[in-house]
Every structure is written in structure tokens, then in C-alpha cells.
Amino acid sequence: MAQRPGLTLAAVDEAVLEAGRGLVGDRYYLGCGTFSGSLRGKPDAEITLIEYEEIVRFNQSDGTDRSPGAFRRNLVTKGVRLNELVGRRFRVGAAELEGIRLCEPCGHLAKLVSPSVVKRMAHRAGLRARIVSGASIKKGDAVEVQDAV
């Protein structure tokens, strides 16, 4: 989570997800994220997720050791294919989310991480989701897939 654009994302052990808004305290929740203006009012602006396995794959292919926070997503998952969650509802702990679309890497992320991130993370950089029902979530909470929307 970062409270302002450009700040390094900080890992937290517990966070609150608010339906219709996002991750409480995050820059997009506060309306000051880099893309807040263009995403305002869109459900896919609420929360982003990325697979830990894709971060490891990128680091190996790029010869780097970027932290998960470098990729600027709200939640890091393990053991779940996020691309398969577009159009599906799923739970993270007690919160219910709906996958909206892939969260593709952009020029802004390329400036912050590496120019190669756009090509190497295309279709692998995560998922944009809306929060159907909010809750407090904790590090280690399971991701449980539900039925299609």
C-alpha cells in the first residue's frame, strides 16, 4: 500500500477492503493515485492483484530481484492463476471480489521497474477487480474461486 503516488509500496499484515472504494488508506482509495482521474468511478479501480510466481518469473528472465511492491499492485497471491478470474467471483479471506479485466503493464510501470516489463509481463501483470463485499483481510488468507458472474 502507498498513501501517495511515487511512494514505495509497503507490505502490511492486515488491510481493510471497502466495497465500491478499494483498499482503505491506499493512494487510489484516497483519490490521489497516478491514474485516479482516468479510473474515477470505474469498478476496476478498486483493487489490483498480481501472482507472486509471475514476479519470480520476471526477476529470473530480467536478471533482477525486484520486490513484489515494485510492481505496484495491492495484493500479491500465490498458487492461483489470476487470468482465469476475469468475469468470476472469488474470495480473499472474508472479502468477496469480482475479476474485471487484466491489469496490463504500462509505460509508467516501465519507468519505475524496467522497460522490459511491458513485454515480459504482458498478460501476466495481474488482475483488476471490484470489491463486492468488503472485509478485513490478512497476509496468508486463501483465495477461493466461486462461480462465474
Domain boundaries, position 85: 14-148
Residue 5 belongs to some domain of the structure: no
What is the reported pTM?
Answer: 0.86
Give the H/E segment covering residue 133: strand 127-133
For the chain, give the mean pLDDT: 86
Domains: count for the chain: 1
CATH number of the domain enclosing 113: 2.40.33.20
Q: What is the pLDDT at residue 2?
A: 59
φ, ψ of residue 83 in degrees (nearest 5):
-60, -30
pLDDT tens digits in sequence order for the chain, 149 residues long = 655 556 567 788 999 999 999 999 887 788 776 666 667 777 777 999 999 999 999 999 889 998 888 888 899 999 999 999 999 999 999 999 999 999 888 777 778 778 888 888 888 899 999 999 999 999 999 999 987 65
Question: Rounded to an integer, what distance in angstroms lies between the CA atom of residue 106 and that of residue 78?
Answer: 23
CA pair distance 113, 117, nearest whole angstrom: 7
What is the 8-class DSSP label of residue 12?
-
